[in-house]
Amino acid sequence: DGPWRTEGYFMASLHPDDHASAAKWIENWETIADGEVAEWRYRVRSAAGEWNWRWLRSTPFERDAEGKVRQVLCVSVDTTARERAVQALSDSEQRHRMIMEGASDGIFVCDPTLRFVDVNPAGCELLRLTRGELLGRNLRSFFTPRDLQERPLRLSDLREQGPYLSERRLQRGDGTWAYLEMHSRVLDD
């Protein structure tokens, strides 16, 4: 019955933001049914002083004569690496969105079939279409068949040649034609 088994020691090792949820989790011990599993995510200070994430599953293990839970069986898994990866991805997505939203040039992201999967507000304005009208639409639909025959849009060429700059004529959503300078490249992912 070392100190790691006491409620006070456990609460002292928790991140301050997790104290309220810990108190609720402990309170729920009184009502949890046999065989029922409670799950909880929390942070605990490591021996090195860092905050590490844990995922905990618990179920009643022993009750007293009145049926009150005396011991709870807990399985705790360190999920720090996963939580950090999720946070890094979230931060990256947030930076990506800020760049996309703030750019004054039109930015278009296409899948391997050249269908739009992302576009920024400047791109919508440039093509005179809403984001909803652009997403899923094929880039080729903005060019005449003759233009595509003379200068095809092929992902394989872009992969072989690398990034390139070109001037192309395309038809915007309102029917007007525009000459645009296009810088194209394959994204690694």
Type of residue at 161: Q
The pLDDT tens digits of the residues spanning 166-189 come to 899 999 999 999 999 999 988 876
How much is the pLDDT for 2? 46
The pLDDT tens digits of the residues spanning 119-129 come to 999 999 999 99
For residue 89, pLDDT beyond 60: yes
In 3D space, the residue among 84, 2, 73 whose CA is nearest the CA of residue 36 turns out to be 73
Q: What are phi and psi of 178, to 5 degrees?
A: -145, 145
For residue 64, pLDDT beyond 60: yes
How much is the pLDDT for 6? 63
| Percent of the chain whose pLDDT exceeds 70 | 96
Q: By the 8 A CB rule, do 3 and 35 touch?
A: no
How much is the pLDDT for 189? 66
Instruction: Confirm whether pTM is higher than 0.75.
Output: no
For residue 1, pLDDT beyond 80: no
Take residue 126 and report the two structure tokens written for it. Answer: 């440039």
Cα separation, 97 vs 185, in Å, equals 19
How much is the pLDDT for 160? 87
Mean pLDDT of 85-91: 92
**Cα Rg of the chain, angstroms:** 28
Take residue 95 and report the two structure tokens written for it. Answer: 């930076």
In 3D space, the residue among 91, 125, 94, 88 whose CA is nearest the CA of residue 108 turns out to be 125
Take residue 97 and report the two structure tokens written for it. Answer: 């969105």
